[in-house]
Amino acid sequence: MSIEPKIVRSTHKSRMVEEISGAIFSLYCDGITAPSKSMIADHMVSGYLMPNAPITAKSAMLSSTADDVEKYFKESVKAAANDMDLPFHFVTRRFYLDTAKGEKVDTCSKSQLASWVSVFANGRSSKAAGVRFVEKESQNDALLMISIEKQQTTLVGAIDAFVAKTEAGVQHGALPAGATVARINADLAKNPGSTHKT
């Protein structure tokens, strides 16, 4: 009996995540530990085109590549961090503006440092302009600690909002009087055919 080899489909997303994470890794090897999204897109385009390529071709490719970097940024960063085995956090545009002016972590207030850190990486509502990788030798990295605190706050807020929404839902007129989340789940458990949980 012959066993057919498993075919792994290569999708646009998987190809782009691989290319973007590769660009992040390449920039890190060049000494850039906090690449911005635009820096990553520029690096990728410079690898695609010859130096003497028409400016119109470069602009079109840069626009398309920047869209892909924005869309697959979070997954690409995770893939690069996994390959490099380094912790990371997302940074805002303010991080790049302030550090370009010479601002240092040790001389800034905690509120200013908090404005440098984002927990949202993708999409139109994203505040992340890039990523910062943290060397394992770094002790008590202030920005990484702030990132963890902000993630915890965001998670707790999301859980609280979900609980409030669920509790409001069980008060709906379509449900029996006195319904609670626990009671609805108990009723659903009696019906093995139902897979829905509140």
Beta bridge partners of 112: none
Domain residue spans of the chain: 12-138, 140-198
Looking at residue 19, its pLDDT comes to: 96
Looking at residue 113, its pLDDT comes to: 92
Looking at residue 107, its pLDDT comes to: 83
Looking at residue 185, its pLDDT comes to: 62
Torsion, Cα of 78, 81, 82, 85 (10° steps): -160
How many CB atoms lie under 10 A from the CB of residue 72?
Answer: 23
Q: What is the pTM of this model?
A: 0.73
Please give the single-letter amino acid code of residue 9: R
Per-residue pLDDT of the chain (198 residues; tens, 9 = 90+): 556 655 556 788 999 999 999 999 999 999 999 999 999 999 999 888 877 888 888 888 999 999 999 999 999 999 999 999 999 999 999 999 999 999 988 888 889 999 999 987 665 556 899 999 998 777 689 999 999 888 888 778 778 777 777 777 666 666 666 555 566 566 666 665 544 444
Looking at residue 189, its pLDDT comes to: 67
Beta-carbon contacts of residue 35 (< 8 Å; ≥ 6 apart): 24, 27, 28, 43, 130, 131
